[in-house]
Amino acid sequence: MTVRKTYKLYIGGAFPRSESGRVYPVTSSSGDLLAQAAQASRKDVRDAVVAARGAFAGWSGATAYNRGQVIYRIAEMLEGRRDQFAAEVAAAEGLGTAAAEGIVDASVDRLVWYAGWTDKYAQITGGANPVSGPYINYSVPEPSGVIGVLAPQQSSLLGLISVVAPVIAMGNTCVVVSSFARPLPAISLAEALGTSDLPGGVVNVLSGSAAELAPWLAAHRDVNGIDITGAAPEGRANLLRSASDTVKRTYSPAGGRADGPGEEDWATEPALRRMAAFVETKTVWHPLGI
């Protein structure tokens, strides 16, 4: 007789049930019941945004070196639980063991890749600007703030990490809505995060329906940006419209069009785009004199 696991939400470093008390059945690709996952509500979104905002000053104020170490530590923890994640990915995505292990390995690599970016992105994209006058002038990238992230619906772990890691690598905090049908790797990742060095609130994971939760994130006035990767194509425009009410930064497949191609190939090495989406360039001037 196995002891079954309860899959809960991850908000502010804690694992609450949904405020709504709702759960929904999660099945494997072959239709077997895997678990009853918590189904997050708009109030969970609200609480998660509060947690993310609370964590922002600390996480964005941490040194880039520290953020890199923390993200690398997440990769270590993923590696340490390789078998568990492989099994969950296999069940969720209907993959054989070898393929699922490949996904976990790629996920570890992705985390390591972004961990290394934390203290390099500013050097690549910032620097001194040669203005014509007696001034020192430099530009630095800074995180946009609290970001809502709709994780991809298909790629339950690699896709999830590919959208979350760039956001937190830049110093943002986030509220992630996991894949609706395949949430278990996301919740397990949350458990790994909960025991990693990542401060509570930096990543908040909500299992549930993107269609239900995303509008609340898109409209939330204390959310600075939203990545709508996991939204249904026909829902993209509405979310982006809603995001305009507070001039949110947005990231969306196909520029937000409903007719774009399907989910991207997460195996491809990412470009800077997902980091660039949620950073602000700050330019500082100071005179040079004696």
Q: Which residues bind other proteins (CB under 8 A)?
A: 124-125, 129-135, 137, 139, 144, 224, 236-241, 243-247, 249, 254-258, 260, 271, 273, 276, 280-290
SS3 category, 290: coil
Nearer to other proteins, 112 or 239 (CB): 239
Least CB distance from residue 193 to other proteins, whole Å? Answer: 26
Token pair belonging to 81? 């639980």
Least CB distance from residue 167 to other proteins, whole Å? Answer: 16
Nearer to other proteins, 206 or 243 (CB): 243
Nearer to other proteins, 96 or 255 (CB): 255
Least CB distance from residue 46 to other proteins, whole Å? Answer: 19
Nearer to other proteins, 107 or 144 (CB): 144
Least CB distance from residue 137 to other proteins, whole Å? Answer: 5
75 closest CA partner among 121, 109, 116: 109
Nearer to other proteins, 132 or 195 (CB): 132
Least CB distance from residue 248 to other proteins, whole Å? Answer: 9
Residue entry with tokens 């709508």: 228
Least CB distance from residue 108 to other proteins, whole Å? Answer: 26
- DSSP-H helix ranges across the chain: 42-61, 64-80, 82-93, 97-117, 121-125, 158-169, 184-194, 210-219, 236-243, 273-276
Nearer to other proteins, 33 or 128 (CB): 128
Q: Which residues contact 182 (CB under 8 A, 6 or more apart)?
A: 26, 92, 93, 153, 154, 156
| DSSP run (H or E) holding 127 | strand 127-128
State the Cα–Cα distance between residues 166 and 175, nearest whole angstrom: 13
**Alpha-carbon distance values, 261 to 150, 151, 155, 265 (Å):** 17, 16, 15, 11
Least CB distance from residue 285 to other proteins, whole Å? Answer: 5
Residue type present at position 186: A
SS3 category, 205: strand
Nearer to other proteins, 8 or 248 (CB): 248
